[in-house]
Amino acid sequence: MSIHPRTLLAGLLASAALLPAAAQAQNTDDNAVESAEDAFGTSTGHETIGVYDEGNVRGFSPGNAGNYRLEGLYFDIQGGMGNRVLDGSTIRVGPAAQGYAFPAPTGIVDLQLKKAGDKLAVSPFVSADSFGSATLEMDAQIPLAGKELAVTAGFGLYNNEYANGGGSKAYSVGVVPRWRPAKGVELLAFFNRQQFSDETAQQLYVPTGNFLPPRIERDRYPGPDWATNSSHSDTWGLTGHAHLGNWTLRGGLFHSAYDGDPGHSNIVLINPDSSTDRLIFANPGNHSASWSGELRLSRRFADGPRQHLITGSIRGRSIDATYGGGDSRIIGSAPLNAPLQVPRPTFTFGPQTGDETRQLSGALGYSLAWKGIGELTLGLQRTHYVKRVANPGVLVTSGTSNVTLPSASAALNLAKGLTAYGSFVRGLEDAGSAPGYAANAYQVLPAIRTKQYDVGLRWSPVNDTTLIAGYFWIAKPFIDIDQAGRFGLLGDETHQGFEFSITSNVTKDLRVVAGGVYLDPSVKAAPSIAQPVGKRPVNQMKFRSRFNVNWTLPFARALTLDAYVNHDDGVFANVDNSLFAPGSTRIGMGARYKFKLGGKPVTARVTLFNIFNAYEVIPVASGVYSYNTRRNVQAWLAMDL
C-alpha cells in the first residue's frame, strides 16, 4: 500500500497532544557532522558522512570481510539491521582503532545499539523524496522500573522508489530491552526484523565488447515488472558487561539470518550499436544464518601513572548457507533506455549448494596507558577455521586453517595536542560471495590472509579542532571475475596511501568535517591466470574526498544550513585496465529548522543532493556497470514527543 507523506504527517500531528512530554531528544538532534570525531565514517540516525563506509575502507570492504563489532564485541551479520535497534556506527581506522581490542585489517565497523533512558520519549519520523518514496517510523523509549529496566521499541513502514526507477515495499520492527540489575552491570537484548516485498531487481549493464556503456538514462527501470525479489532478515541477541572492581566481564551471543524468496537478477547486455539483449537470471531462493559471539575478561592494574590491562577473549561463529541452483533466459531485445515487458518464461531450477563455515578464536591482549606518555596495545589470536562446501553432483569439499594472528599498536604523545600513532595487524577474513551475475553465483569464497601497517599523526592545535594525517599499507588476495565468468582469487592486491581528516568548530556556530584518501592500489596476477591482468584493480580510485559543513545562523539560531562536496576520481573498469571510467564531483546543500510544537521539539530538514546532476558510470566488477544517483530532493520531519 502506498503511503502518502501528508497522510503520515497529519496522523502524527493529531497524536502529538495525546503523548507525554519527552525527557530527551532521540531524532531531533541527529546530526552526523556534529557527532563525527573524524572524517573517516560516522552514521547517526538517518545521516551518514565520511570518506569510508562499511563497503569501502582503504579500498576494501570491512563488511564483506566480516569485520563487524556490536557494542565492541565480535558479530557476524547475515541479515540487514537498521534504525530500529541501531543508534549509529563508527568506522574505526587510524587513531580511532588505537587501543581497540583485537583489531582487524581494513578497519572495524563498530555498531552501537539504542539504549533507552529512564524517562518516556516517543519519536515519530516521516520523510519523502523526489523519486516518490515515503517513510514512516515510530520509536519509543519506555521506562519499566525506574533506572533499572527500560526498553526501546519501534517500527518503520517504507514505500521505496529507487534511483534506478524501481521500488519496493518494506517494513522493520525492533526492540532493545535494557536491564541494570546492579551498579556497573548492564544487559541489553535486541530483536530486529526487516522485510522487503516486490523489490525490483537492480539492473546491471554488461557491454558485449571492450567498451563502456553509452550514457544511461537514470531513474528509468528497464523491466520486466515480474523480475522482483522478496526477502526478510531476523537478527537478535544478548550482550552485556559487568564492572567488578578491577575486573570487567563482557559478553555477547548473536543470531542473524537472511531468507531470500525465489528471485531475479536483471542484466542488460549492451551491443556495440547500443542495442541491448535482456538477460534474466532467476534463482530458487537462498538462505544464510549464523551464530556468533564473544566472551571477554579483563583485569586492570594501577601502577602510579601507568595503567595495565590484560584481556582474554574467546570468540566464534557458525554459518550455514544455501545458494545456487539458478537458471537464466534471454527474454528479448530493446533499445538501451527502453523498458521491456514480456511474459515470464519458465525457468528450470537445479539443486543448490550447501556451505558451512566454522571459526573459533582465542585471544590474549595487553594494553599499557602511561599518563602523559602514550599507550601500547599488543594482541595475539589463534584461529581455527573450517569451511565445507557441498556442490551438486560432486563430493563435499572442505578446508581447514589454523593461523596465529598478531597485532600491535602504539600512540606516543610528542607534544601538547600532538600524538604519533602506528599499528600492525594480521587477519583472516571472509572474502564474501560471488555476485548474482557470476557463473558461480552466490558461492561463498574461502577465507583469505591479510595484513596491514599504518602510521600517522593526530594534532589538536586548539580546542575543538583535530587534524589527522596517516600512511597505510595493506595486502590481500586480488578478487574479481575471470574470463569464464567466475568470481574468485586472481592474484595479490596491495593498497598503500595517505589519508587525512579535519574536524573543526571554526566558530561556535560553524563546524567543518573534511577528509580524503590518496590511494595507490596495485595488482600482481597469479601466473596461472589466462587473461591479461593490469596493474590496477577494478573500481579503485586514486583520490576520494569528502567535505561537510554546518552553519547555525547567529541571527536565527533555529536554522542550520549545511553543504557537502564529494569527489571520486575515475577508475579502471576492467581487469586488463584497457577501459577507464571517469569519476565525478557531487555537490549538495540543505537546511534544518528546529521549532516547538505544543512545547515538544521538532526538526524539519530538506536536502538537495547532486545539485548539478553529475553523471558517473560505476564499475561494480570487471565489465559490469551501474551508475550514480541523479539530482534529487529529500525532506523529513523528526519529532520527540
Q: What is the block-wise mean pLDDT of the chain (641 residues), using blocks of 10 residues?
A: 34 33 58 93 91 91 86 92 89 85 86 91 95 96 92 96 93 96 95 95 93 93 92 96 96 97 94 95 94 97 95 96 92 94 94 92 96 95 90 78 92 96 89 71 76 96 95 88 77 93 96 97 77 86 97 95 97 93 97 92 96 96 93 95 86
- For residue 61, what pLDDT is reported? 86
Q: What is the pLDDT of residue 448?
A: 84
What SS3 state is found at 338? coil
d(CA 210, CA 205): 13
Question: Residue 181: is it exposed, middle or buried by C-beta count within 10 angstroms (0-12/13-18/19+)?
Answer: exposed
User: Is 96 strand, coil or helix?
Assistant: helix
Q: How far is CA 535 from the centre of its chain?
A: 28
Can you say whether the dihedral through the CA atoms of 45, 47, 53, 55 is positive or negative? positive
CB 110 within 8 A of CB 62: no
Q: Which spans in 57-173 are helix H?
A: none
State the pLDDT at residue 432: 65
pLDDT of residue 395: 74
**Whole-angstrom Cα distance, residue 460 to residue 468?**
9
Quote the pLDDT of residue 507: 94
Residue 544 contacts by C-beta under 8 Å, 6 or more apart in sequence? Answer: 51, 516, 517, 519, 567, 568, 569
CA distances from 340 to 191, 331, 385, 508 (A): 41, 9, 46, 55
List CB contacts of 287: < 8 A, sequence separation 6 or more.
257, 258, 259, 260, 321, 322, 323
Nearest to 306 by CA among 365, 245, 371, 378: 371
Cell numbers for 467, please give them: 587534524
Q: Phi/psi zone of residue 63: left (φ > 0), alpha (ψ -120 to 50 degrees), beta?
A: alpha
pLDDT at site 6: 34
The 3 state secondary structure assigned to 20-39 is CCCCCCCCCCCCHHHHCCCC
For residue 373, the Cα-to-chain-centroid distance in whole angstroms is 35
Domain residue limits, the chain = 5-337+348-639
> Architecture of domain 5-337+348-639 in CATH?
Beta Barrel (2.40)
pLDDT of res. 80 = 83
Cα 80 from Cα 204, distance rounded (Å): 22
* Amino acid present at 101: A
pLDDT value, residue 528: 63
Q: Please tell me what DSSP assigns to residue 9.
A: H
**DSSP characters over 422-474:** EEEEEEEE---B--TTSTTTTPBPPPEEEEEEEEEEEE-SSTTEEEEEEEEEE
- pTM summary value: 0.89
Coil vs helix vs strand at 14:
helix
Q: What letter does residue 210 receive in the DSSP assignment?
A: S
Cell of 597: 510544537
Longest dimension (CA), the chain: 77
Count of CA atoms in the C-beta half-sphere (13 A) of 392:
12
Tell me the three cell numbers of residue 147: 533506572
Q: How many residues does the chain have?
A: 641
